[in-house]
Structure 1
Amino acid sequence: MRLRTPCPATPRAWTVELRSHSGELVLVCRQCPHGPRRVTAAAARSAALAHLAQHARADLRPLHLRICQCHERSCCWHPRHRGCAGPIRLLLARERGGRVWRLADACTACAAATAQAAVVPDTALAALPRLASSAARRRRRQPRGSGERTRVREMLGYLGVALPAGTSACARLLALQCALRMNAQAQVRLPAGLLRSLRLADSPASWRELERARWLRTTSSAANAVVIELLDVTLLSQAPARPDRMQAADWALRAGRPAQVGTAGSLPQLASAYLAAHSLPETGYGLCEFDRMRHDCGIPPTELHGLLDQLVGADLLTSWHVCPDSGDLHWTTGPLGAW
């Protein structure tokens, strides 16, 4: 009789908690042997994400060795659904108002059912294979992984969890461009023309807002460009290859339609990019949870209906409605919506 070799456990789930102790705020990791670490209130969110990213980088595994950690714990992190299904993704979840943060492998079905959570943009930075011949060097590079629409959709979902709830639409647009354009050193150079396209050239409040959230740091500023460093190390460990991310950043810029939105502000730009990223390119039809869009874009509950009507008036949407039973938002993009 042939004995079965036991398979090693793959506990790719890490949890950190922010606790008050003796009038101070401490970060407690349930997987680390050392004691709690003292943090300031302003840096608590960044410290939690950085600590989780360290665990993920130290335990890199091939996809076929990764399992749904939510299923291993009897799916206790979300309401009941039809069962585990889909590829394994890295899921960042927030609980108890940001006091508890969790990073874990989860299947697509469990990730979709988990509240206050977002999939970390997939695939790690990797060097391109060396091509032997000169003809191969001239060959056009093929995109890796998912397309621009999916990259923007996943990044907007991640930023909806990683950034503070009150982050403005202007700052979210800036964070989206920075996250997609950063290099292997977590640095990004934003030309003045790009900032003018985003209506951010004369908006230093957005930079200060992200700096106060400890999400980025401005290293140099000139008339023609701004150079910044991202402090969210989770993005560094999970970002796709930079050429593909740059294409996704350009797609997000076009999808925001700053020319059509005009002087209406950054919120219509952000909403337009979000709806385009969640729409089918063939038909322009889109579907998402009404509350999910409000959360990912940081839109107050009383403003989303008026914002959608504003997009219809600007011909960015043809129609929209909310299903009263499921709470799902359905829409169809305008004639220029199929990017």
Structure 2
Amino acid sequence: MRLCATGRPVRRIWTVELRPQPGGPVMLCPHCPPASGALHSEAAARPAVVAHLAGHARRDALPVHLRTCQCQERGCPWHPRHRGCSGRIALVLTRESGGRLWRLADACTACAQATAHSAVVPEAASGPALELPRRCESRQKKRRNRGTAPSPVVRIREMLSYLAAALPPEVVADARLLAVQCALRATGSGQLMLPVGLLRGMRMAQQQGPWQALEKAGWLVRLPRPHPPTDICRIAAQLLDATVLTQAPGRAGRTQAAHAALRLTSHPALRELSASEQLVGLTLATHSCPNTIKGVIEAERIGRVCAVPPDGLAATLDRLVTAQAARSWSYDLGSEDITWSLGHVLADWSNHPLPHHDVPSG
């Protein structure tokens, strides 16, 4: 007897084109009716594009065990040849043609790393769930999250990867460090109340440049304080795409990851370094191989994540060695990879990103 599958196949690759028009770019999606109006600028279009693609991903949700690498399914046309598909399947956001074409698709870790101008998008917990009695629901959620929630190191690494694709290349390191804190500390709706004391610890309490860079990129907008101000010790902001990209399970876990990132960049060995050097140090610590002090990453990729030009990367890595944040580093001309060994500062942090008393009990 022949079985007949009548269900609609779930699409796991979506694209959006930004087509230039006199009044501003128009967003075109092959799966949706044409947009009714133009977007004012390319920077303003970025959040709209990401939100649109994420809407497709939510509507076409698929259990993790049924998802496949869409790049491999098409013969891996999105990147140069590499050693083969491997690693977990994740949603990967890719920007092509100078930002005119955006793609969101399932891809394996190997393909995601080999694809230029791409980033892994932090995802919400998805998949079928049992209908539970109300009194048992919260207990079951805690048990489920305890075993599946990503570690602070993984959360920071994925957020750095996302910001590499979501922010324009001209957004410099101090704005990216601020964006990491904003994205990890925001609510599910993208609202943010950032303490001034935290900004003082980051040495950004009196700086307007990082905020202005993120606003210019269309990534967030600062909110005016009420009159009279009810809380003068906090800065309010709205992340324009936070409802899509800060939904990794558990806001408490994301906040702990933000604390961990701040703890590393505030360490005495890194505190006196520049924002660019702190960001590279954070990237090395979060991209090292698990349970080791060594790591390897493409030079182009680390430059893109940290907004460091190629001619400045070597000097930045040398200063991290001088500060004992890294023991050594080398560059392979053949593979164009950067290989490093962590110094005791980054090695201790990568093994214990949070102090013992900050680790959740359940």
**Matching residue's letter, 2:184:** L
2:356 aligns with none
> Is the CA contact (8 Å cut-off) linking 1:120 and 1:154 kept in structure 2?
yes
How far 1:258 moved relative to its partner?
4.8
1:285 aligns with 294
CA distance in 2, matches of 1:232, 1:44: 11
1:30 aligns with 30
2:161 aligns with 157
SS of match in other structure, 1:286: strand
CA distance in 2, matches of 1:267, 1:56: 33
Alignment of 1:158-237 (within 5 A): 158-220=162-224, 223-233=232-242, 235-236=244-245
Asked if 1:61 corresponds to 2:65, the answer is no
Over aligned residues, Cα RMSD in angstroms? 2.9
Alignment of 1:97-112 (within 5 A): 97-112=98-113
**Matching residue's letter, 1:52:** L
CA distance in 2, matches of 1:69, 1:133: 35
1:16 aligns with 16
Range with bigger deviation, 102-111 or 116-125: 116-125
2:45 aligns with 44
CA distance in 2, matches of 1:227, 1:72: 44
> Is the CA contact (8 Å cut-off) linking 2:186 and 2:246 kept in structure 1?
no
Structure 2 residues not aligned, in runs of 5+: 226-230, 350-362
Asked if 1:331 corresponds to 2:340, the answer is yes
Specify whether residues 234 and 189 from structure 1 end up closer, same or farther in structure 2 by C-alpha distance, changes over 3 A only: closer
How far 1:179 moved relative to its partner?
0.8
**Matching residue's letter, 1:278:** H
CA distance in 1, matches of 2:325, 2:135: 44
How far 1:272 moved relative to its partner?
1.3
In terms of fraction of residues, the more strand-rich structure is 1
Range with bigger deviation, 179-188 or 216-225: 216-225
Instruction: Give CA-to-partner distance per residue, 1:55-90, whole Å, 9 cap, x none.
Output: 222222222332322233232222233443332211
Instruction: Give CA-to-partner distance per residue, 1:23-67, whole Å, 9 cap, x none.
Output: 642111122133564112241222221221222222222223323
Specify whether residues 22 and 301 from structure 1 end up closer, same or farther in structure 2 by C-alpha distance, changes over 3 A only: same
Instruction: Give CA-to-partner distance per residue, 1:230-276, whole Å, 9 cap, x none.
Output: 10146447433111111111111122245323343211211111111
CA distance in 2, matches of 1:55, 1:133: 28
> Is the CA contact (8 Å cut-off) linking 2:284 and 2:295 kept in structure 1?
yes
How far 1:164 moved relative to its partner?
0.7
SS of match in other structure, 2:340: strand
Asked if 1:245 corresponds to 2:254, the answer is yes
> Is the CA contact (8 Å cut-off) linking 2:265 and 2:271 kept in structure 1?
no
CA distance in 1, matches of 2:137, 2:232: 42
CA distance in 2, matches of 1:135, 1:120: 28
Instruction: Give CA-to-partner distance per residue, 1:200-257, whole Å, 9 cap, x none.
Output: 1111111111111111111245542112111014644743311111111111112224
2:2 aligns with 3
Instruction: Give CA-to-partner distance per residue, 1:110-158, whole Å, 9 cap, x none.
Output: 222211111101333899x86659999999x836432111111111011
> Is the CA contact (8 Å cut-off) linking 1:125 and 1:184 kept in structure 2?
no
> Is the CA contact (8 Å cut-off) linking 1:186 and 1:236 kept in structure 2?
no
2:273 aligns with 264
SS of match in other structure, 2:238: strand
2:79 aligns with 78
Specify whether residues 164 and 329 from structure 1 end up closer, same or farther in structure 2 by C-alpha distance, changes over 3 A only: same
How far 1:177 moved relative to its partner?
0.7
Specify whether residues 274 and 138 from structure 1 end up closer, same or farther in structure 2 by C-alpha distance, changes over 3 A only: closer
SS of match in other structure, 1:261: helix
Range with bigger deviation, 59-68 or 12-21: 59-68
> Is the CA contact (8 Å cut-off) linking 1:67 and 1:88 kept in structure 2?
yes
Specify whether residues 219 and 24 from structure 1 end up closer, same or farther in structure 2 by C-alpha distance, changes over 3 A only: closer
